[in-house]
Amino acid sequence: MGKSARAQNARLVELRAQQAKAERRSKLMIAGATVGVVAIVVIALVIAALQGGTDVTGQSSTALDQATFAKVTSVPAASLDTVGAGASDNPPKTIDAPALTKDGKPRVLYVGAEYCPYCATERWPLVVALSRFGTWNNLSASFSAPAPEVNPNTATVSFHGATYSSQYVSFTGYETSTNKQTNGQWGKLDTLEGEDLALFQKFNAPPYVQSSGAIPWINFGGTSIQAGASYNSAVILNKTQAEIATALADPTTDIAKGVNGAANVLTAQICKSTNQQPTAVCTAPGVVAAAAKLQ
């Protein structure tokens, strides 16, 4: 082979080596870019998670079965009287404010949300108490939000879509959010607005309550308020609506001591607004005993 041919072959080998090196560099750049894109996506997901951009799917509400409805709206008077104040705590507190009425009757105003476990806890005694003054319709079976919320999936009823009628007292219940969360936001349900929103904002803040915006929040006739649950939620955890309602008839159960005790306290508070009417309810031994808890 001549000198010129050897030079050409050497040059060809050099060019191929340079081409292979360039191809390797190109592949590394593509791989690096891919890793960079993946890293950006991962970082974005982490940031979204830290900002609460999560989805939570709570159990959907269903019609409350008639047997459970009957048990929770007609708790035996003997059970209520035996329990008295029971294991209730956090009673309503008196406030200095104008009377809250509707259609000439004292009004009970409730603000809560379906995801809220303490709202789930408090609805039971509120339903029992108000059942002594009037009639419920269209209560649905509901649950608080699942984990990671505290007291996940607490069985309860919902006031969304429910109606209440009474010759003694008026009731308005707001469930402001569902138990389902999308991108970190609870689904909207009932809209709190106007005078009710103004009452909630004014009397659900210090010095009337310990922390602003707490739910459940209840206003009894404008003269007293309650924020938070009024008995220990632990007694109803992992129970079904039917199990909770059935236990109310037995005053020896922890559920009856908690729910019925709180119901008697709430009844005593409502009786203060109705001028102790109806007499048979407001003078019942369990209500009289529970009235000592009022502040």
C-alpha to C-alpha distance for 50 and 44, rounded to whole angstroms:
10
Q: What is the mean pLDDT of residues 35-49?
A: 40
For residue 15, what pLDDT is reported?
45
Percent of the chain with pLDDT over 70: 82
* Domain definitions of the chain by residue range: 1-51, 57-291
For residue 54, what pLDDT is reported?
77
For residue 33, what pLDDT is reported?
43
275 CB-near residues (< 8 Å, 6+ apart): none
C-alpha to C-alpha distance for 123 and 156, rounded to whole angstroms:
7
184 CB-near residues (< 8 Å, 6+ apart): 51, 52, 53, 54
Please determine, for residue 1, whether its predicted confidence score (pLDDT) is greater than 60.
no
Mean pLDDT score across all residues of the chain: 88
For residue 295, what pLDDT is reported?
81
Question: Could you read off the pLDDT of 14-24 as tens digits, one per residue?
Answer: 545 555 565 55
Q: What is the mean pLDDT of residues 262-291?
A: 98
The pLDDT confidence band at residue 35, using thresholds 50, 70 and 90, is very low
Query: Of 92, 270, 95, 93, whose CA–CA distance to 168 is shortest?
Result: 270
Query: Of 271, 273, 262, whose CA–CA distance to 84 is shortest?
Result: 262
For residue 169, what pLDDT is reported?
98
C-alpha to C-alpha distance for 251 and 21, rounded to whole angstroms:
85
Please determine, for residue 190, whether its predicted confidence score (pLDDT) is greater than 90.
yes
Q: What is the DSSP string of 132-175?
A: TTEEEE--EEEE---TTSSSTT-EEEE-TT-EEEESS-EEEEEE
Q: What is the mean pLDDT of residues 174-185?
A: 96
CB contact burial 17-33 (16+ within 10 A = b; e otherwise)? eeeeeeeeeeeeeeeee
Q: What is the mean pLDDT of residues 45-58?
A: 60
Question: Could you read off the pLDDT of 216-238 as tens digits, one per residue?
Answer: 999 999 999 999 999 999 999 99
Question: Could you read off the pLDDT of 110-166 as tens digits, one per residue?
Answer: 999 999 999 999 999 999 999 999 999 999 999 999 999 999 999 999 999 999 999
